[in-house]
Amino acid sequence: MDSVTLRACTGSAFSLCAGSAIRISSTSGAQVVDFWAVNPADPDECLSMEHTRTSLSRITPRRGDELFSNRRRPILTMIEDTSPGRHDTLIAACDPERYRQLGVDGYHPSCAENYRVALAAAGVRRSGIPSPFNLFMHVPCDADGQLRFLPTASRPGDYITLRARIDVLVVLSACPMDIDQPHFAGHRPRPSDVDVHVIPGTPG
């Protein structure tokens, strides 16, 4: 099992063969990880939150669920989740404009930039930034449709494992958000490292 540390605030891409899996561990328990998946053989095909919600008739995938591409086929399976299952499919990746609007003067790392850099480093070209699967991000929706941005519900060492159903390029970003925001209700995220394990598939 290959293991790497994804440093706080950074991104990286991981090539998975069909049948292999990726395990993403929140060492602090408090880190959000933005997750994307692109078909490197046809980069127009990517993991799609709107198609996944449609296929599952549910906002958030659970252990055992398939994750669907914009071609409506399952490309990943969530095979493990030791956390309480609070993940987000609704919120856009943070980007330089988000930080500018939050009052940051000058450079701030962002998930959108981490995605772009990791994808380019992997030699994959596609336009736009798909809506991410935000692992461990806790944004419950009340009956009135109001969203609350809460601290992660995960604990130190909680992990989620996704198995690839096709050869796929996974892009991860350890979210660099560290700004006080009114809708964070008093908590301020503290970026931390993430452990990533790529688990080879068992032949045949």
Q: Which residues bind a copy of itself (CB under 8 A)?
A: 44, 48-51, 53-54, 57-60, 70-72, 90-92, 95, 97-98, 101, 126-129, 131, 141-143, 145-149, 183
- The pair of three-digit structure tokens given for residue 8, joined into one six-digit string: 């706080």
Minimum Å distance from CB 68 to a copy of itself? 9
Minimum Å distance from CB 46 to a copy of itself? 9
Neighbouring residues of 183: CB distance < 8 A, sequence distance ≥ 6 = 148, 149
**Residue 13, H or E segment:** strand 11-16
Minimum Å distance from CB 26 to a copy of itself? 20
Q: First vs last Cα of the chain: how many Å apart?
A: 18
Query: Is 95 within 8 Å of 112 (Cβ atoms)?
Result: yes
Choose between 2 and 97: whose C-beta lies nearer to a copy of itself: 97
Residue 93, classed as helix, strand or coil, is: coil
Choose between 146 and 202: whose C-beta lies nearer to a copy of itself: 146
Choose between 186 and 203: whose C-beta lies nearer to a copy of itself: 186
- The pair of three-digit structure tokens given for residue 91, joined into one six-digit string: 């919120």
Partners of 139 in the beta sheet?
none
Query: Is 35 within 8 Å of 115 (Cβ atoms)?
Result: no
Minimum Å distance from CB 188 to a copy of itself? 17
What are the b/e assignments for 110-128, b being 16+ CB within 10 Å? bbbbbbebbbeebebeeee
DSSP label of 140: -
Minimum Å distance from CB 37 to a copy of itself? 15
Choose between 21 and 137: whose C-beta lies nearer to a copy of itself: 137
Partners of 69 in the beta sheet?
47
Choose between 3 and 101: whose C-beta lies nearer to a copy of itself: 101
